[in-house]
Amino acid sequence: MSRRLVGILLLAGAVVLVPAAADACPVCYGDIDGPVARGINNGILAMLAVVGVVQVGFVTMFVGMWRRGKTTRERRESLKVIDGGMR
């Protein structure tokens, strides 16, 4: 066997034999008041804030497009076309 394969097998064996390295975070054990839980909650709120800002931006963009279209339509309708013209 190559040295690299032996190293990988030894590392895998060490991870399996050391159960503390495979433990879950304190939140998974029920510590809902710890700093990890507060960090996770703050991360969720930050992601929700980003999504909310993007959605507000889209709504603002579409309202602006609607208003611009309405103004353009009103200007176009205010122009009078002369009937008759050249014959």
Q: Which residue has the tokens 């959605």?
A: 55
| Residue whose C-alpha is closest to residue 25's, from 15, 36, 16 | 36
Average pLDDT of the chain? 84
Q: What are 46's two structure tokens? A: 């930050």
Q: Is 80 exceeded by the pLDDT of residue 20?
A: no
Q: Give yes or no for a contact between 26 and 34, defined as CB atoms under 8 angstroms apart.
A: yes
Q: Is 80 exceeded by the pLDDT of residue 41?
A: yes
Given this model, what pLDDT does residue 45 score?
A: 97
Q: Where are the domains of the chain?
A: 25-78
Question: Greater confidence, 85 or 51?
Answer: 51
Question: Greater confidence, 64 or 19?
Answer: 64
Residue type, 25: C
Residue-wise pLDDT tens digits, 47-69: 999 999 999 999 999 999 999 99
| Residue whose C-alpha is closest to residue 14's, from 22, 23, 26 | 22
What average pLDDT does this structure show over 20-46? 80
Separation of alpha carbons 31 and 14, rounded Å: 28
Q: Give yes or no for a contact between 26 and 36, defined as CB atoms under 8 angstroms apart.
A: yes
Question: Greater confidence, 80 or 48?
Answer: 48
